[in-house]
Structure 1
Amino acid sequence: MDQRHKARLFKELHRRSGAFLMPNAWDAGSARLLSSLGFPAIATTSAGIAFSLGLPDYAGAVSREAMLERVGQIAAAVDLPVSADLEAGYGVEPEQVGETIRQAIAVGAVGGNIEDFTGEPSAPLFDLALAAERIRAAREAADAAGLPFTLTARTDCYLARVDNPFAAAVERANRYREAGADCLFVPGVSDPDVIAALVKEIDGPLTVVMGLSGSALSVSQLAALGVRRITIGGSLARATYGLIRQAAVEMKEQGSFSFADRQIPDGELCRFFAAFPPI
């Protein structure tokens, strides 16, 4: 599929009834493994990419250039729509956010998240007026590219623990929708009653993230609540690093190698990856 066709398919997923699960990859290998299992689209995870580069998941730890290089590798590795985790847009000003969208499209993404988290403890979220302008600039950049790009606006009201996070999330999400966002993302929510209320009050498709501590809801339960899109953020990458640490501790402290019982055999992996064209 060419990029335009992938973009149309991805946009259509947000217009259908029911929920779809979009897992998050951090490199070409994880993307290809996920793509082989029947998911309709995949996303990138900025946290997983940062960890794979030996860096923390902090704003600014990974440059826009490095992040988009990896996004491009993931998009080129699979024949599925790829939505990019673009953090806060790699700049404060709306023009910088617009440039990030242009570059994400250039490397093959057909969707992307822009968040309102600043990384500053004293003011964790961008001023609402500025945050809306940043989404508007992202929308204008995507439209100028001539691609039906799916723009997701993420608000971190719950993760930043602002006062009255529900009201703040609803207000911000609806302002971002007015500014041109196709989908609204409110991470950090796991209570089903709160999720149902967000679906009711937010004027647009809602994305939630599962795989965080305390997030025990299933895809069918989330669909029944009215959620449109489900991601897993960096949780799969963190689980992978959890296995590495467990294996390392076992080898160091016990001198044993039971972790190898859960590996995919070398021959199977070689046959699997050989079926894909070179990137």
Structure 2
Amino acid sequence: MSNTIEQFRELHKNTLPLLLPNAWDAGSARLFEDFGATAIATTSAGVAWSLGYQDGYKMPIDDVIALAFRITRAVSVPVSIDFENGYSDDPKVVANNVMRLADWGVAGINLEDGEDDPVLVARKIDAIRNAASKAGVDIFVNLRTDVVLFGLVEPARQVEESISRGNFYAKAGADGLFLPGISRSDDIQKVAEAVPLPLNVMSVPGLADSTELARLGVKRLSAGSGVAQAIWGSAEGIVSHFLKGGDQSPLFADAMHFGHLQELFGKD
């Protein structure tokens, strides 16, 4: 087991949640590391947009693997890749895809259920575990269930269903449970107490701060596509002013110094 993966597992045992401002390319990953991020996770939406695709299993697997290489090359902290559904419905193919990530030293993945049958998702987890064991590697499988985010069941049953799936995925070999969309503190606490996996939530309006989330039992807080969306929004405003009237002032208002950016990427 590499020190990087050991580090990543330990980060889920801290008193305060592991804070992940999800990156979308090697540049953003390196910037976040420079700001003090103790690990880097990616956002599939941000990555897809940066490559000219819609989010939702649209990216070619080779592009995702190439991204993993570029990010692990650019940073020294553990890296977790948002791997959507594994880019296949075949558990063996998913496991092979994950092993390609492991070849680049990736510490973890997010694997999501979406609208798939949980039994199929469990088979994917099992295939990943078997492939990793045979290869003598370790990888943190953070299982994302979309019960709340996609409204897979009626609101009154979402917490119950999330707990049921969380326990099912834990038995299948998942290392963490990611529950995007959940925001009510009492719901979060119920899931954290009922599922024996580190709980990961995603930034949404009205979500408690990290100190309160820690009290509720949360071990990991992801920005999701939030940072990428904020950057796209800022770029839209800056370029709009520039194209409409040649207004150059927004280009320089919050610009990072060229020399500092060069220094960020000075490593060989």
- Normalising by the smaller structure, the TM-score range is over 0.9
Aligned position for 2:177: 184
Which of 143, 147, 153 is the aligned partner of 2:143? 153
Say if 1:11 and 1:148, in contact at 8 Å, map to a contact too.
Answer: no
Say if 1:157 and 1:168, in contact at 8 Å, map to a contact too.
Answer: yes
- Matching of residue 193 in structure 1 with residue 194 in structure 2: no
Q: TM-score, normalised by structure 2?
A: 0.93
Q: CA deviation at 1:229?
A: 0.9
Q: CA deviation at 1:165?
A: 1.8
Aligned position for 2:210: 219
Say if 1:83 and 1:112, in contact at 8 Å, map to a contact too.
Answer: yes
What is the CA–CA distance in structure 1 between the aligned matches of 2:14 and 2:136, rounded to whole Å?
23
Letter in 2 for 1:223: A
Aligned position for 1:110: 107
Q: CA deviation at 1:145?
A: 2.6
What is the CA–CA distance in structure 1 between the aligned matches of 2:184 and 2:90, rounded to whole Å?
34
What is the CA–CA distance in structure 2 between the aligned matches of 1:70 and 1:215, rounded to whole Å?
32
| Structure 1 residue matching 2:264: 3-state secondary structure | helix
Structure 2 segments unaligned to the other structure (5+ residues):
none
Q: TM-score, normalised by structure 1?
A: 0.89
What is the CA–CA distance in structure 2 between the aligned matches of 1:239 and 1:28, rounded to whole Å?
18
Say if 1:7 and 1:147, in contact at 8 Å, map to a contact too.
Answer: no
Query: Residue 249 and residue 91 in structure 1: after superposition, are their counterparts in 2 closer, same or farther (change >3 A)?
Result: same
Deviations 1:66-111 (A, max 9, x none): 1111111001110110011110011012112211211110122111
Letter in 2 for 1:197: K
Query: Residue 94 and residue 35 in structure 1: after superposition, are their counterparts in 2 closer, same or farther (change >3 A)?
Result: same
Letter in 1 for 2:149: L
Aligned position for 1:231: 222
Q: CA deviation at 1:157?
A: 0.6
| Structure 2 residue matching 1:25: 3-state secondary structure | coil
Deviations 1:11-43 (A, max 9, x none): 122234432212211111111111112222111
Deviations 1:153-197 (A, max 9, x none): 111111221222212111111111101111111111112121111
Identity %: 35
Letter in 2 for 1:32: R
Mapping of residues 1-279 of structure 1, within 5 Å: 4-59=2-57, 61-117=58-114, 125-163=115-153, 164-210=157-203, 212=204, 214-259=205-250, 260-274=252-266, 277-278=267-268
What is the CA–CA distance in structure 2 between the aligned matches of 1:191 and 1:8, rounded to whole Å?
32
Deviations 1:228-248 (A, max 9, x none): 011111211111111111112
What is the CA–CA distance in structure 1 between the aligned matches of 2:220 and 2:264, rounded to whole Å?
28
Q: CA deviation at 1:128?
A: 2.2
Q: CA deviation at 1:132?
A: 1.4
What is the CA–CA distance in structure 1 between the aligned matches of 2:209 and 2:180, rounded to whole Å?
16
Query: Residue 236 and residue 268 in structure 1: after superposition, are their counterparts in 2 closer, same or farther (change >3 A)?
Result: same
Cα RMSD for the two superposed structures? 1.6
